[in-house]
């Protein structure tokens, strides 16, 4: 059991049998824990660097990071597998995409997995140069037969300026019986590129693995490196990181609320929020020169300070944007034609949200009280709590309204941080990362929980770096939300989740 | 209806007056690098070693196609030989023009007369994200909001390549998007333009030489306009588009 942003020596990690591992994960999830990460690493790469005994070439060590929201603890389990093991998914749906990923990356077969399809359509990490990757998008899509059943295929190139992915709908007339989402088009090979680091490229991979979540992922990385170095960023840096993370949330939530309005043809809010989103991005640029926060976060602290004058300008802009966004967003709730489209569309019950392990606003909109800032606080959130915003109806309205509640609380947090910004340095020099250790770092990004797990080798270099973007948990939620909906509601449902393709595809 | 009118009054008119009035960019904005080779200490390689994307070459040259505008070079430079200016105008027409040395950047020239008569007053573009991180996409998308009102220049993003005069490509061209990108390009009627946006689309960016990507748009398609940045500022993109059309 460890806390968020802490490291432990790898050899203190209990190595259990695969049966115990399986039972423990299933029981823990049954008792309310969530799978934050579940991944494999070749035992040889972990052990050869640690200078331990020789191990069989094909042994893969599985790691599961289980989050206990109520007690703010993370349980880490590990086991050794060779070839195959009985799948967890039939008894634990949360594991479903993780096990597919495990099979795709390392060839470890989860026996009895009901849906063992490619996740990102790349070669197994263990195969040679000459072998070809599987053809993208070629898989056995689930299909329904019957009179008047038809199939709709959309993507990878979509109508708007958005990332690519493929959606396959099984429809009966206008009604969607099933949606299958097949991704991988954005795969850039980030995780393998991180092995052997950190180096001068590492931070930039973090900033661009999901570019709209630059602050979120860069902060998760920085926290992990600080945990491995046994040191923390100075308080002033932590406050500035908090401000940047909430500005990122404010910009994206504002953009999403505008886009939701746009999807149902309610143009006033769509127009205003499209612009106000830019105002929040420009506030981030005021801090560091980049609208997306590129170059702000660095392991050890932040690279840009903000003096009195800059903070005053930030606050002025914040108050103006708050006024504008309040006016723009409240139009939504006061307009019956908007509410008629938002309410009862794309419902996810709390039970389904829990089963799938949804995170972020999508989970909170189904009434799940789950927020890393509150449950596993790190950085400034240990001192300045943000209440968890939930709504119980699980529909598009709830996902929109939770964003609005969060946006208001983010702005209040930023305002408070500006007024109480701690004095002092903005960066500490980090010692080298501890060797043969494992660190877990969680951050509540605007889409939900980001989990980074770093395992170091004998020299303190990364022998494994696992990234779990919130979208990895939530794409299945969108598929389920579309069941028994009209296909014309897809854009609205999709926008109400607004998930990352590149964060998923890595 | 009344509440919408009231809101409209409160929000006011917010479209930028650009290009009539020059934009004011944030003071920390990192635009066109300014190089002064004379200031380089002998045998100094600090900037080359610090650059995460190998954008800097011997003799102090910066390949803007690879540059992430992260500022790492300027931070390590002991003599101020590299600094980032506020100049957001970065777009060029040819790949080789992206390499910046001490001479002025050869900014994008307008299309030839025939192309200009075809596209100059109405340019419809199909955007294809091919491995982009959603930052270039977002700052391209923003041009269609009321803040920028791209439509007033006759430029519009359309849903179908059949309706488009060209492609605007973001991302390093992931292998998994290669075929979809080619098919989209093929579906656009001749004559057609290709505009590449951001370090990834220009060179592969930070992902350069990953086996999972193709090192940028011009490795697979002919490119007519290169817009550097990671991501480029919306003004950088707009400046590039307007230069291509001979509007500025």
A398-443 tens-digit pLDDT: 999 999 999 999 999 999 999 999 999 999 999 899 999 999 999 9
Please answer whether residues A236 and A305 qualify as being in contact, where contact means their C-beta atoms are separated by less than 8 angstroms.
yes
Measured torsion, CA atoms of residues A326, A329, A334, A335, in degrees rounded to the nearest 10: 150
How far apart are the two ends of chain B, measured CA to CA in Å? Answer: 40
Strands A15-16 and A297-298: unpaired
Instruction: Identify the CA nearest to B241 among candidates B203, B185, B195, B192.
Output: B195
DSSP B86: S
* Candidates A211, A254, A276, partner chain B, best to mutate (most B CBs within 10 A): A211
What is the C-alpha separation between A436 and A416, in angstroms, rounded? 40
Q: Each residue of A255-266: pLDDT tens digit?
A: 999 999 999 999
Closest CA to A359 of A402, A330, A316: A402
A500 CB within 8 Å of a chain B CB:
yes
Q: How many residues does chain B have?
A: 248
* CB-CB contact of B197 with B127 (8 Å): no
Query: Among A49-63, A289-303, A428-442, which is the least confidently predicted range?
Result: A49-63
* A186 and chain B in contact, CB less than 8 A: yes
CA-closest candidate to residue B79, choices B25, B32, B42, B133: B42
Total residue count of chain A as it appears in this document: 506
Out of A163, A214, A268, name the one closest to residue B8 (CB): A268
Q: At A172, which helix (H) or strand (E)?
A: strand A166-172
| Residue A426 in contact with partner chain B when CB distance is under 8 A | no
pLDDT at residue A275 is higher than 70: yes
Alpha-carbon gap, residue A383 to A372, rounded angstroms: 14
pLDDT of amino acid B210: 95
* Residue B203: both structure tokens together: 């060179």
Mark yes or no for CB contact A212/B159 under 8 Å. Answer: no
| Residue owning tokens 């390093």 | B172
- Model pLDDT, residue B14: 87
Strands B193-197 and B155-157, sheet pairing: unpaired
Nearby residues of A144 by Cβ (< 8 Å), 6 or more positions away: A170, A172, A177, A178
Collapsed DSSP state (helix, strand, coil) of residue A494: helix
pLDDT, mean over chain A: 93
Show which of residues 62-101 on chain A sit within 8 Å of chain B, judged by CB atoms: none
Contact A108, A85 (CB under 8 A): yes
What angle is formed at CA B198 by the lines to CA B194 and CA B199, rounded to 5 degrees?
115
Distances (CA, A) of A56 to A52, A61, A453: 12, 11, 24
CA B51 to chain centre: 20
Tokens of B114: 């025939």
User: Is A160 in contact with B131 (Cβ distance < 8 A)?
Assistant: no
Query: Chain A partners of B146 at a C-beta cutoff of 8 Å?
Result: 271-272, 274-275
| Whether B131 and A502 lie within 8 Å, measured CB to CB | yes
Spatial distance between the Cα atoms of A443 and A412, rounded to a whole number of angstroms:
19
SS3 sequence of A77-88? EEEEEECEEECC
pLDDT digits (tens, 9 = 90+) for A123-168: 888 776 667 788 998 899 999 998 889 999 998 998 889 999 999 9
Give the tokens for residue A289. 């020169």
**pLDDT higher than threshold 60 for residue A32:** yes
The nearest CA of chain A is from the CA of B68 a distance in Å of: 9
SS (H, E, C) A4-19: CCEEEEHHHCCEECHH
Query: In terms of CATH architecture, what is B113-244?
Result: 3-Layer(aba) Sandwich (3.40)
Question: In a 10 Å sphere around its CB, with 0-12 CB exposed, 13-18 middle and 19+ buried, how is residue A188 labelled?
Answer: buried
Q: Do A278 and B233 touch (CB under 8 A)?
A: no
Residue to test with chain A: of B138, B146, B151, B229, most A Cβ within 10 A: B138
B94 three-class SS: coil
Q: Is the CB of A122 inside 8 Å of chain B's CB atoms?
A: yes
Q: Is B229 on the interface with A (CB under 8 A)?
A: no
C-alpha closest to that of A264 among A326, A325, A335: A335
Report the gap between the CA of B86 and the closest CA in chain A (Å). Answer: 10
Q: Which of A156, A287, A292 sits opposite B177 (nearest CB)?
A: A156
Query: Under an 8 A CB cutoff, do B176 and A290 touch?
Result: no
A275 touching chain B per CB within 8 A: yes
B100: left (phi over 0), alpha (psi -120 to 50) or beta: beta
Which among A157, A101, A324 is positioned nearest to B183, based on CA atoms? A157
- A140 class by beta-carbon count within 10 Å (0-12 exposed, 13-18 middle, 19+ buried): exposed
Strand B99-100 relative to strand B123-129, pairing: unpaired
Partners of A214 on chain B (C-beta within 8 Å) are 135
| Cross-chain Cβ contact B129/A211 below 8 Å | no
Query: pLDDT at residue A54 above 50?
Result: no
Distance from CA of residue A358 to its chain's centroid?
Answer: 10
Report the residue from B30, B129, B213 with minimal CB separation from A163.
B129
DSSP category for residue B92? B
Q: Give me A503's structure tokens.
A: 């964060």
CB contact residues (below 8 A), chain B span 148-207, against chain A:
157, 159-161, 171-172, 174-177, 179-180, 184, 200, 205-207
Query: Over the stretch A459-494, which tens digit does the pLDDT of each residue have?
Result: 999 999 999 999 999 999 999 999 999 999 999 999
Taking a C-beta distance cutoff of 8 angstroms, is the pair B168, A297 a contact?
no
Q: What is the mean pLDDT of each run of 10 residues along chain B (248 residues)?
A: 89 89 94 93 92 93 96 94 95 95 89 91 95 96 93 94 96 96 96 96 96 95 97 97 93
Alpha carbon of A79: minimum distance to chain B alpha carbons (Å)? 30
Phi/psi for A489 (5° steps) reads -85, 0
Residue A283 pLDDT: 97
Count of A–B CB contacts within 8 Å? 179
Chain B residues closer than 8 Å to A334 by CB: 3
C-alpha span between A347 and A481 (Å, rounded): 6
Residue whose tokens read 């009862």: A344
Comparing CB atoms, the residue among B11, B68, B69 nearest residue A327 is B11
Beta-ladder partners of A465: A454
CB atoms B206 and A201 under 8 Å = yes
Q: pLDDT above 70 covers what percent of chain A?
A: 97
Alpha-carbon span A80 to A96, nearest angstrom: 19
What digits encode the pLDDT tens for the residues A182-205? Answer: 999 999 999 999 999 899 999 999
- Between CA A223 and CA A217 the distance in angstroms is 10
CATH 2.60.120.10 fits A190-505, yes or no: no
Closest chain B CA to residue A161 = B127
Confidence of residue A53 (pLDDT cuts 50, 70, 90): very low
């Amino acid at each position: 059991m460890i806390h968020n942003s802490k490291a432990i020596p790898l050899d203190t990690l209990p190595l259990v049998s695969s049966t115990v591992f399986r039972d423990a994960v299933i029981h823990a999830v049954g008792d309310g824990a969530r799978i934050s990460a579940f991944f494999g690493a070749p035992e040889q790469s972990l052990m050869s660097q640690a200078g331990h005994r020789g191990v069989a070439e094909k042994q893969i060590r599985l790691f599961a990071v289980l989050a206990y929201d109520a007690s703010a603890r993370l349980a880490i389990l590990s086991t050794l597998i060779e070839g195959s093991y009985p799948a967890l998914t039939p008894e634990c749906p949360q594991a479903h995409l993780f096990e597919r990923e495990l099979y795709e990356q390392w060839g470890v077969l989860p026996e009895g997995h009901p849906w063992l399809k490619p996740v990102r359509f790349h070669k197994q990490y263990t195969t040679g140069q000459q072998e070809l990757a599987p053809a993208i998008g070629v898989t056995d899509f689930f299909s329904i037969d019957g009179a008047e059943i038809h199939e709709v295929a959309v993507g990878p190139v979509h109508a708007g300026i958005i990332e690519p992915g493929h959606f396959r709908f099984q429809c009966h007339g206008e009604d969607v019986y099933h949606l299958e989402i097949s991704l991988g088009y954005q795969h850039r090979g980030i995780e393998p590129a991180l092995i052997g680091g950190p180096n001068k490229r590492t931070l930039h991979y973090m900033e661009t693995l999901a570019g709209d979540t630059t602050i979120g992922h860069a902060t998760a990385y920085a926290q992990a490196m600080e945990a491995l170095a046994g040191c923390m960023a100075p308080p002033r840096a932590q406050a500035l990181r908090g401000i940047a993370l909430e500005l990122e949330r404010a910009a994206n939530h504002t953009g999403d609320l505008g886009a939701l309005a746009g999807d149902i043809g309610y143009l006033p809010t769509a127009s205003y929020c499209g612009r106000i989103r830019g105002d929040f991005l420009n506030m981030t640029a005021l801090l560091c020169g980049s609208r997306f926060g590129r170059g702000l976060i660095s392991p050890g602290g932040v690279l840009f300070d903000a003096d009195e004058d800059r903070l005053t300008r930030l606050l002025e802009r914040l108050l103006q944007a708050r006024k504008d966004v309040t006016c723009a967003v409240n139009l939504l709730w006061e307009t019956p034609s908007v509410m008629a489209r938002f309410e009862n569309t794309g419902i996810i019950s709390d039970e389904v949200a829990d089963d799938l392990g949804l995170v972020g606003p999508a989970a909170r909109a189904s009434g799940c009280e789950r927020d890393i800032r509150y449950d596993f606080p790190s950085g400034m959130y240990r001192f300045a709590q943000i209440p968890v915003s939930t709504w119980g109806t699980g529909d598009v309205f709830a996902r929109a309204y939770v964003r609005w509640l969060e946006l208001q609380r983010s702005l209040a947090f930023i305002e408070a941080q500006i007024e109480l910004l701690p004095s002092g340095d903005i960066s500490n020099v980090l010692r080298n990362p501890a060797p043969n250790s494992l660190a877990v770092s969680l951050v509540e990004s605007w889409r939900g929980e980001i989990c980074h797990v770093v395992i170091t080798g004998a020299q303190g270099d990364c022998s494994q770096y696992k990234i779990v973007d919130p979208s990895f948990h939530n794409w299945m939620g969108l598929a389920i939300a579309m069941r028994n909906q009209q296909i014309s509601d897809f854009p609205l449902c999709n926008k109400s989740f607004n998930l990352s393709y590149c964060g998923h595809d890595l | 209806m009344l509440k919408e009118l009231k809101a409209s009054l409160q929000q006011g008119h917010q479209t930028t007056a650009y290009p009539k009035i020059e934009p004011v960019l944030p003071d920390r904005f990192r635009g066109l690098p300014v190089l002064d080779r004379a200031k380089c200490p002998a045998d100094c390689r600090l900037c080359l070693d610090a650059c995460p994307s190998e954008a800097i070459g011997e003799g102090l040259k910066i390949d803007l196609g690879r540059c992430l505008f992260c500022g790492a070079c300027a931070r390590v430079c002991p003599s101020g030989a590299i600094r980032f200016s506020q100049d957001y105008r970065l777009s060029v027409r040819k790949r080789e023009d992206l390499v910046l040395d001490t001479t002025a950047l050869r900014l994008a020239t307008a299309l030839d007369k025939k192309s200009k008569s075809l596209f100059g007053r109405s340019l419809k573009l199909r955007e294809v994200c091919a491995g982009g991180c959603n930052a270039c996409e977002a700052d391209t998308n923003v041009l269609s909001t009321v803040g920028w009102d791209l439509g007033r220049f006759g430029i519009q993003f359309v849903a179908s390549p059949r309706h488009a005069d060209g492609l605007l490509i973001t991302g390093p061209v992931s292998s998994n998007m290669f075929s979809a990108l080619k098919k989209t390009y093929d579906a656009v009627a001749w004559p057609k333009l290709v505009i590449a946006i951001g370090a990834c689309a220009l060179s592969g960016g930070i992902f350069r030489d990953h086996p999972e990507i193709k090192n940028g748009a011009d490795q697979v398609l002919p490119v007519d306009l290169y817009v550097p940045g990671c991501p480029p500022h919306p003004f950088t993109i707009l400046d590039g588009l307007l230069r291509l059309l001979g509007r500025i």
